[in-house]
Structure 1
């Protein structure tokens, strides 16, 4: 039997692609400029969550809606950002971290410009939704790129520098928003993003374009994403419109509630059976993750709801200008700036649950102090709790993130960070809607109670009316002035109710923190640095 000669050139197996090698850390001027550019983009993003707070009455008045309807400017941005955050991992693997980050910045600039041009509230809310969607990937990607710029030994320093921008932005936001609103016009709170965004995008691209992450095509869970948008979006719209439509006496609110419940139940069922889910819900099987996320999200919702409520009360019923309201809110980050580095350095040596409980106790104290406010409260009395609140903020985020991410393998950190951020940001937007709704409802109750004392048999009421009439007012004008005073007292008492209830809920969160197990501090704190915010 003749042997078949072997071919001269046997076919070669397809070469395997070389494994991805992470680029070396940046050095010198490139690292400094890269850090500044990434921090500027983060600062711009976080600023837009707080700069509009003190501008809501001006925006609402200019666009012909009530100040409480104006809160949609905040909640629409928050909800759309939350929905976009879980997509960051898929988008960055599909297009690359650097390209996605720079594109997000440029789209953020474009949508900021469109927000400033909005002719009515509906258009402004639509552009804010778009702005939130493109903003979603910016914060997680800024962290990833910053960590890749520093050696592992300096990862803590990198995150400390990054955290400073997230703490400074809430300080600058109300001040800047108030000044722009009072001295220029509210659209400029959005226009100021344009030069900052262009500069950040240009520097980032110049420095990081040759440090692109590997890309690959992955399937997108389009059904899960659609169910997420429908469920969360319907729930948020229901919360925002409920107070206008008398809640479940309205067919529209009932329909939104049904859509939200069905959408979210279908979303959970789908995600638990999907091979490539947009959100990894199996993380909630871990006690530390669900208890940490629950504590972080409820606490953030309470904090954010009260941060929106305070300037509304000050401007509508205490005759504060937007700038003055900004000054009241500005010190919230000062103590956090001073104490956050201390927390970061000691978190590996202290049970993070103790820090979290301390934060809850300080938040409860701050809100109890606010629940004692009256219409006679002066500027210093109102500002003192804001200063103290910075202490709580310093001990709030890092310990709870440490608890939430502790014990997870490195390959699950990104998914866990994205999911906890989604829940936290969504809770913040819900907190805003719930706080303003409860405020209005309690104000109506207090108004009815106080009005009972304004009658012909009341000596105090008759004396007040006589005093107003003796100053030259007519009977109707005098009654209108009395009604204004009743309104002021009603909304002040209602704000006190919200503050007091929030303080109680913070105390109720303490046992939830102790449902978690203390993890390995060193590993957990490193994970938290990688997944913060």
Structure 2
């Protein structure tokens, strides 16, 4: 006689539920914090380790790429080892990886340890969602996800501020060391509360060929994006070789995953219009958002004279309005067409980036801060409605695979957005620099009077020209940043028709649970 499936453990009650929520939220907070805390510290890390700030962006992209690869493995790993063991193990490994990042002696080892940190972090967010939802009665699922969502919105607010302060006042290594006490407490608390609620384990086959192909093409593509600018793009044999590996690897990956019985990534979900349109809209928007989140503090610190702390204060308020509005959106997404909310998000993102495209080198703190505050409104209307659209009509058994796949595409797009925006910024700056430099010639009276004034202040001809070159550099990178802000604004508006391609279905899982896949 076949054994009946095991019953799910009953919801937690009282203090156990409170402490369980705190433990899971602390681990999630630590994970999300690490995606944003390094952004404002990049110039300091790059300077300390003797590389350019653009090479420093590998600190962000290596974490994101490894994280994207690990997310689809969560389902297989949790069946093999159990959800609680996997979650606690993931947190402990994250703590060890954080320690290694903080003591990394050079950029190569820091990038390797950040990739390790991103990989072991993969299961933490999906498992924190599923363990939290199992801790609450179904009637309180909305409350559980709202509380969980708060940590994922507070972390991006805290990250730049904390990262900037630590970098200016202690040293950049401490942006990683602060994970250690948080992670240890979260792991011990989660184990104490959840170890008797372990999920059933069973040996399931892993799609090792699909996983290998996934690692190969993602890594090759990211290396093309990150190394291209230093190696003159497709004039380099290395870049051409990596591009061929990425394309061929991707083609084999598609064929294998669509024919394998236990694929590591369930690509057949893309047959559903709501899923593919929702995933593409979410991922492109996230790539644009993340690219600009990395670009702004780089520009402020390199060319506007901002400290890491000041850049953090500019970036921090992005989550303030999102924290206030997200619970409202979560409650009303089942009553209002989520496509309307998503459209509002893209219009507001477009407005924010259009405002930034008008920045100049005289822009004061308040001028730069206002668009960041407004961006919080767009964030509130972005994740929950788009995940509701993406997950709508899916049966509960398809939810984990769908959540893993859409998160994988989104995180990969974020890493690509970072590389593309910094590459484009450099190339546009070079173009603007050459155009502006043409004006510095003997026939331009303004240029000549500026040189004369600098010479009169005691500078040599060489020093005067060097000073002018610095001013031209500052203007060139500002104009290049404006170009990217403007292009991003246009692309956000271009995503609106994609949202309206979807069917106006209500999510089968309800707004709160569909939102669970949002992060």
Q: TM-score, normalised by structure 2?
A: 0.99
Q: Deviations over 1:432-487 (max 9, x none)?
A: 00000000000000001000100011100011111111111111100000000000
**Partner of 2:44 in structure 1?**
58
Indicate yes or no: 2:169 matched with 1:168: no
Structure with larger Rg: 1
CA distance in 2, matches of 1:526, 1:441: 43
**Partner of 2:177 in structure 1?**
191
Residue 339 of structure 1, CA deviation: 0.4
Q: Deviations over 1:348-382 (max 9, x none)?
A: 11000000000000000000000000000000000
CA distance in 2, matches of 1:159, 1:387: 24
Residue pairs, 1:238-277, within 5 angstroms: 238-277=224-263
Change in 2 beyond 3 A, CA 1:328/1:526:
closer
Choose the corresponding residue for 1:283, options 253, 269, 277: 269
Indicate yes or no: 2:484 matched with 1:498: yes
CA distance in 1, matches of 2:509, 2:210: 32
Q: Deviations over 1:20-57 (max 9, x none)?
A: 11111111110000000000000000000000000000
**Partner of 1:299 in structure 2?**
285
Residue 525 of structure 1, CA deviation: 1.8
Residue 530 of structure 1, CA deviation: 3.6
Choose the corresponding residue for 1:311, options 290, 297, 300: 297
| 3-state SS of paired residue (2:150) | helix
Indicate yes or no: 2:460 matched with 1:474: yes
**Partner of 1:399 in structure 2?**
385
Unaligned runs of 5+ in 1: 1-14
Q: Deviations over 1:150-193 (max 9, x none)?
A: 00000000000000000000000000000000000000000000
Indicate yes or no: 2:10 matched with 1:24: yes
Contact map agreement 2:394 2:508 (CA 8 A) in 1: no
CA distance in 2, matches of 1:71, 1:374: 24
CA distance in 2, matches of 1:149, 1:521: 22
Indicate yes or no: 2:119 matched with 1:133: yes
Contact map agreement 1:405 1:527 (CA 8 A) in 2: no
Q: Deviations over 1:91-116 (max 9, x none)?
A: 00000000000000000000000001
Contact map agreement 1:349 1:521 (CA 8 A) in 2: no
Residue 520 of structure 1, CA deviation: 2.1
Residue 521 of structure 1, CA deviation: 4.8
Residue pairs, 1:484-495, within 5 angstroms: 484-495=470-481
Contact map agreement 2:388 2:506 (CA 8 A) in 1: no
Contact map agreement 1:97 1:212 (CA 8 A) in 2: yes
CA distance in 2, matches of 1:335, 1:525: 20
CA distance in 2, matches of 1:302, 1:61: 26
**Partner of 2:201 in structure 1?**
215
**Partner of 2:65 in structure 1?**
79
CA distance in 2, matches of 1:477, 1:401: 56
**Partner of 2:446 in structure 1?**
460
| 3-state SS of paired residue (1:217) | coil
CA distance in 2, matches of 1:48, 1:467: 47
Contact map agreement 1:405 1:524 (CA 8 A) in 2: no
CA distance in 1, matches of 2:358, 2:80: 53
Contact map agreement 1:336 1:393 (CA 8 A) in 2: yes
CA distance in 2, matches of 1:531, 1:120: 36
| 3-state SS of paired residue (1:519) | coil
Question: What is the aligned-residue RMSD (CA, Å)?
Answer: 0.8
Residue 16 of structure 1, CA deviation: 3.3
Q: TM-score, normalised by structure 1?
A: 0.97
Choose the corresponding residue for 1:156, options 120, 142, 154: 142
Choose the corresponding residue for 1:95, options 50, 67, 81: 81
Unaligned runs of 5+ in 2: none
CA distance in 1, matches of 2:412, 2:47: 27
Runs of 4+ in 1 over 6 A off after TM superposition: none
Indicate yes or no: 2:330 matched with 1:372: no
